[in-house]
Structure 1
Amino acid sequence: MKRRSFVKGSLIGSVAAAATPIVTMAKPRTANTEYYELRVYIFKNEQQQKTTEDFFRDIFIPTVKKQLNEPVGVFKELAPNGQTKLYVLLPYSAYERYAGLADYLESDKEYWAKGAAFLNAPANNPAFEQLNTSLLRAFKHMPVKALPAKEKRVFELRQYKSATEAAGKKKIEMFNDKGEVDIFKRLGFKPVFFAETIFGDDRPNLTYMVTFKDMDDKAAHWKAFGSDPEWKKISAVPEYADALLVSKITSTMLVPTAYSAI
């Protein structure tokens, strides 16, 4: 064998050998595990909010519905401190659909033309002041969303931030393996989703959304949760103490817009 061919073959073999562990170590997700994109739009005035809401109601949601056939949730804060933020929840049946939608919208000329007021707003008069985006992966114990009944309701979006990756995984273990998700369901919280944030702000964290008739109903449900024997049993385990696993809890009360599909 010529030396050049030998070197070339050795290099190819080395690269292939180095790549093999990456392929074999990859652990595939369950086919029906959903992903959720959570967007939070921050405004300085009503005009920005109107421009953004008009875009989502009239342009974005109809376009996405044709591509994904998924319900898009759009929410406002129940009790905003000043101008409300707008929360947009986009479900995806698979990660590939998240990337595919972005590619499709990038090339959709009609979408860009109809949505120009939002998509191409001038720098001196933007459609929003700030956008925060996270991508979430559903818990294995609730791999797909549950849509609440179309009736008067409020939503609580909760996020548990952990100081370390290990603590975050341990907190998720409580939900997935120790029965916490089942407690929420049994007590009638009507959860929409439970998910881990795989990229976005304040990682590591887990995020979930539950539903109530009103604030009195919320208070009653959380009181029942706190006194539930099964919850007391789980939370009494020393390794699951919040002081070890949770560094910050954020709770945001939301109401759906008239055009929200969730």
Structure 2
Amino acid sequence: MKRRSFVKGSLISGAAAAIAPVAAVAQSKPLKDKIPYIEHYELRVYTFKDERQQKITEDFYREVFVPMMQQKRYETVGVFTELNPAGQTKLYVLIPFNTYVHAEGLYYFLEDNKDYWARGAAYLNAPADNPAFEHLETSMLKAFKHMPSKQIPAREKRIFELRQYKSASEAAGKKKIEMFNDKGEIDIFKRLGFKPVFFGETIIGNDRPNLTYMVTFKDMEDKAAHWKAFGGDPEWKKISAVPEYADALLVSKITSTMLVPTDYSGI
């Protein structure tokens, strides 16, 4: 099997079944009349064993992928490294899509793009005995209805916190999302100046059910001040005091990762 065919199949095979009903709706009525505008996000997390691997992968995103998205797809791609890595940093890549269907369009666009495969050869065709990365974890996220599209912070001194809340059951995960969407938790983040970038439910990926979101700070001191304000906020205390919204019932694990944007990141 050709490498490109394998890549294409692995990326879109899961999406094809979900996209088929969308196509049927589009034939009967305009898509906008049936399906709300909700962004989706592909989150890629790379693990490297050394600087050589990181350089190959970062060169690919800096010189090939990000410019191509800007020129051809008009997508704002975020690329981040860890603020305080334990050893070789991981690389986080956030690729937004206007809708889930646009993700398939991107994969088809890249499949037969000769310029993409030629310019990205060091990464895309790295040999098995000298790979460009050790591990790649990919998730697809669906934006929350109360914040259906990303918000890009100003290009100034900034760090990001990527938080993931894992739940023990599908029902618990939906209940936690309800707190963000319907009970005002997203509004609290905005009112307190967290400058959220996105909130998303993981629909494809590991450790489901979970939700993931990204917020913005000037520095670690700013982060501490914001979370202190959040914990003492009267509206948050009111929401979190409701027995059915207790974290012990809805959240089994919280993961927080502090990130810094690369010099070529669009976010």
**Cα deviation code 1:192-247 (max 9, x no counterpart):** 00110001011000000000000000000000000000000000000000000000
Query: Partner letter of residue 126 of structure 1?
Result: P
Corresponding residue number in structure 1 for 2:16: none
Gap change, CA 1:28 and 1:195, over 3 Å in 2 = farther
Corresponding residue number in structure 2 for 1:63: 68
Q: How does 1:20-35 map to 2 (within 5 A)?
A: 28-30=34-36, 32-35=37-40
Corresponding residue number in structure 2 for 1:249: 254
Larger deviation, residues 62-71 vs 115-124: 62-71
Corresponding residue number in structure 1 for 2:239: 234
Corresponding residue number in structure 1 for 2:7: none
Corresponding residue number in structure 2 for 1:197: 202
**Unaligned 5+ runs, structure 1:** 1-19
Query: Partner letter of residue 63 of structure 1?
Result: M
- Greater Rg over alpha carbons, structure: 1
| TM-score (normalised: structure 2) | 0.87
1:28 offset after TM fit, Å? 4.8
Gap change, CA 1:29 and 1:197, over 3 Å in 2 = farther
Corresponding residue number in structure 2 for 1:207: 212
Contact 1:67/1:101 (CA < 8 Å) preserved in 2? no
Corresponding residue number in structure 2 for 1:8: none
| TM-score (normalised: structure 1) | 0.89
**Unaligned 5+ runs, structure 2:** 1-20, 26-32
- Aligned equivalents of 1:28, 1:184: Cα separation in 2: 30
**Cα deviation code 1:6-45 (max 9, x no counterpart):** xxxxxxxxxxxxxx9xx89xx9541x21000000010000
Of the three residues 90, 115, 124, the one matched with 1:110 is: 115
- Aligned equivalents of 2:237, 2:249: Cα separation in 1: 17
Q: How many residues are matched?
A: 238
**Cα deviation code 1:92-135 (max 9, x no counterpart):** 00111101101111111111011100000000000000000000
**Cα deviation code 1:36-94 (max 9, x no counterpart):** 00000100000000000000000111112223212100000000000000000000001
1:181 offset after TM fit, Å? 0.2
Contact 1:196/1:206 (CA < 8 Å) preserved in 2? yes
Contact 1:145/1:192 (CA < 8 Å) preserved in 2? yes
State the percentage of identical aligned residues.
73
Q: How does 1:1-262 map to 2 (within 5 A)?
A: 28-30=34-36, 32-262=37-267
SS state of the match for residue 136, structure 1?
A: strand
SS state of the match for residue 105, structure 1?
A: helix
1:166 offset after TM fit, Å? 0.3
**Cα deviation code 1:160-205 (max 9, x no counterpart):** 0000000000000000000000000000000000110001011000
Poorly superposed stretches of 4+, deviation over 3 Å: none
- Aligned equivalents of 2:251, 2:57: Cα separation in 1: 34
Query: Partner letter of residue 239 of structure 2?
Result: I
Contact 1:168/1:204 (CA < 8 Å) preserved in 2? yes
Contact 1:68/1:92 (CA < 8 Å) preserved in 2? no
Query: Root-mean-square deviation (CA), in Å?
Result: 1.4
SS state of the match for residue 254, structure 1?
A: strand
